[in-house]
Structure 1
């Protein structure tokens, strides 16, 4: 899985979404993330189709929404997602939340069925705490490939990062720029100024140093490029330590979700 991808949450204008996907892929991105609930799978598919990049070179992920997690709905809506995306299979299919119709013993065998049928290569989970991940591992025949959670300098997910390392799955960061809050934090801004880069690049480079894959949303070519250029930024140990020491522990998305197990 490429360690920097394009997120598409809240990229709701079809033309803009398709164009941002095309722009990102032609710039060099090879990882695109969407979800059923985003309402933009068709636009994402159009962007992939329009890009001068072979489909086989794009790591494409989508997520099954919580109301679709009964076994028969998993299969039916996953098939519908593939049709909207215009692809035969996705590279990664996530359980979007352990909520709604989610029942590990009922839901997860349907994901295994999709793997067996070749409709997804990998199974992921999203917004799972460690005990949710471990239960999924027990039930699934396929390995849990990734857990996608909000992760950024103000919500560092140290517990989940350690759990991912221990159990051999990827941690994927949504909202890696804290919905823009990183732009205004003194530490992030100081590190960025010292290197003559943007705070966005600093946040993304910090995540990369932690071994976390980031999927920042961006719609303009300038922001897509700025995020992409974070790949060449290597932070000093001192800069990483300064960011590690930020103690806000605040999520910008769903701030009331989850107990202390998140951190």
Structure 2
């Protein structure tokens, strides 16, 4: 699988998301994904499934160095000592010595961003984290992290799908050679029912969801982390890697409404800043 190289790590462009897969039920799902060939697994302390993810990795027989593993610190734990405790807890639950990518899951309004990123960089020096990143930052916060603080941000994970414009963010990230990791790439299931995507899918002999993923993978510097509980859907997402869109397809998708954001918790930043 194609990888994106960033800050010393290699990020497989199609990963496996585990949001809303809490508890032990997550283990067989991740085991299935690993059997099918996924090598990029995305979790977080908030998902309450790190133990299950770790158990799946342990039972897979796949060498740790062959896997990319991401986890994240929750926005309520962004004081330096809390971040340290959160990482220690995540490593223990995952049953690993290090994670490939450790991310700020959401910004908090009262965080000291410089102290947060300094603490996270110390983990790289300690060897418990290979690279650091951020999720759900608006442009102001992202520029502060990269341009003002100079943190070695390996990627930015945000909601991105055919119904949400992220062109400004993507343009900035490309200037910095930083990948965008798209979560909710199927618009929380809505892509499957979109008439335009279904029509393009019929042309290529695939489903609408595969077209949504192919559209993201068609873009330079973008990785995607769809989740799928059923094995056939996990395979279908992998099959999106082989779909090649043409200009007619791209133009049709470009005409879809691009103002639909579906992940808006009350602690979200102001997105237009």
If the TM-score is normalised by the length of the shorter chain, which range does it land in?
over 0.9
Deviation at 1:102, TM superposition (A): 2.5
Alpha-carbon distance in structure 2 between the residues aligned to 1:234 and 1:53: 30
Count of residue correspondences: 261
Matches within 5 A, 1:1-263: 1-14=11-24, 16-99=25-108, 102-138=111-147, 142-211=151-220, 212-254=222-264, 257-259=268-270, 261=272
Question: For the Cα contact (< 8 Å) 1:148–1:172, is it kept in 2?
Answer: yes
Question: For the Cα contact (< 8 Å) 1:23–1:51, is it kept in 2?
Answer: no
Alpha-carbon distance in structure 1 between the residues aligned to 2:269 and 2:82: 26
Question: For the Cα contact (< 8 Å) 2:165–2:258, is it kept in 1?
Answer: no
Higher helix share: 1
Question: What runs of 5+ residues in structure 1 fail to find an aligned partner?
Answer: none
Please list the CA deviations of residues 29-64 of structure 1 after superposition, one character each: whole Å capped at 9, or x if unmatched. Answer: 110000011111111111111113211111000000
Deviation at 1:156, TM superposition (A): 2.9
Normalised TM-score (structure 2): 0.91
* Secondary structure of the structure 2 residue equivalent to 1:178: coil
Higher strand share: 2
Aligned partner of 2:5 in structure 1 is none
* Secondary structure of the structure 2 residue equivalent to 1:216: coil
Deviation at 1:208, TM superposition (A): 0.4
Question: For the Cα contact (< 8 Å) 1:70–1:101, is it kept in 2?
Answer: no
Deviation at 1:193, TM superposition (A): 1.1
Alpha-carbon distance in structure 2 between the residues aligned to 1:240 and 1:255: 31
* Secondary structure of the structure 2 residue equivalent to 1:11: coil
Normalised TM-score (structure 1): 0.94
Question: What runs of 5+ residues in structure 2 fail to find an aligned partner?
Answer: 1-10
* Secondary structure of the structure 2 residue equivalent to 1:122: strand
CA shift in 2, pair 1:63/1:140, >3 Å: farther
Deviation at 1:248, TM superposition (A): 3.9
Alpha-carbon distance in structure 2 between the residues aligned to 1:138 and 1:104: 13
RMSD: 1.6
Please list the CA deviations of residues 72-101 of structure 1 after superposition, one character each: whole Å capped at 9, or x if unmatched. Answer: 111111011001001000000001111155
CA shift in 2, pair 1:100/1:259, >3 Å: closer
Question: For the Cα contact (< 8 Å) 1:187–1:243, is it kept in 2?
Answer: yes
